[in-house]
Amino acid sequence: MCLLATLRIMILGQQNKEVVLYPGIPGNPGHNGLPGRDGRDGTKGIKGDLGPIGPKGQKGEIGIQGNQGERGWKGTQGEKGNLGSTPVIARSAFSVGLTAKFPPLNVPIKFDKVLYNSFDHYSSETGVFTCQIPGVYYFTYHITVFSRNMRVALVKNEHRMLHTADMYQGAEDQASGGIVLELQKGDRIWLQSYGGETFNGLFADPDDDTVFSGFLLFSTSEAAASVASSI
């Protein structure tokens, strides 16, 4: 304040003289002012060029299952398929008769009068039926009994499965039996007399028959068709 007053006095006192003023020493910088308010939004810029495709990212985790969609429209009818092959039905059957009376005891009875044996599953030489097609079979026998008592058994693989007996009363008696058995391939079936000579009354002549029959009811094997087709 004193410096300014002195300077003014000097200037006023010497109006006709050239006054030379020298700048003073610069002062210290002032403090930073307060930040100004945000300016207004500028106008929208023009759309830039499409950038290059970025690198492929890693595979993400499987998301949760979505809701079931609506049922679609019914499709058009497909083309007709090829004609299927005719199924092969498994078959096995035999029917045989006796030609000689009083056959041997405790061994397979040889029914040597062949009535039906187209598949050769029964052997008239051994008197044994051998299963070729696994399945359920029905076996039956009808016996004429004469002159003595009779006991006969249907045997499966050395095990007696069915027994039939007749106490002879005179003239001619009749006896019969039947059974359903499930067999596997290779099982053997036959009839045999047992109990001694007084129980061996099986009889046959041109007017009286003793017969043994069996046939497959149904197969239990998935391979039955291929077995039957080769017979």
Which residue matches tokens 């007996």? 165
Q: In this structure, what DSSP letter does residue 47 have?
A: P
| Residues 25-35 pLDDT 10s | 877 887 787 87
User: Cα(156)–Cα(133) distance, rounded to whole angstroms?
Assistant: 16
Task: Please check whether residue 148 is in contact with residue 190, taking contact to mean a CB–CB distance below 8 angstroms.
Answer: no
What pLDDT score does 17 carry?
54
User: Cα(157)–Cα(178) distance, rounded to whole angstroms?
Assistant: 17
Closest CA to 200 of 75, 72, 101, 99: 101
Q: In this structure, what DSSP letter does residue 207 have?
A: T
Which residue matches tokens 């497909």? 78
Cα 207-119-186 angle, rounded to 5 deg: 110
Task: Please check whether residue 161 is in contact with residue 154, taking contact to mean a CB–CB distance below 8 angstroms.
Answer: yes
To the nearest whole number, what is the mean pLDDT of the chain? Answer: 86
| Residues 99-128 pLDDT 10s | 999 999 999 999 999 999 999 999 999 999
Q: Is the pLDDT of residue 68 over 90?
A: no
What pLDDT score does 12 carry?
47
Question: In DSSP terms, which residues pair with 8 in a beta bridge?
Answer: none
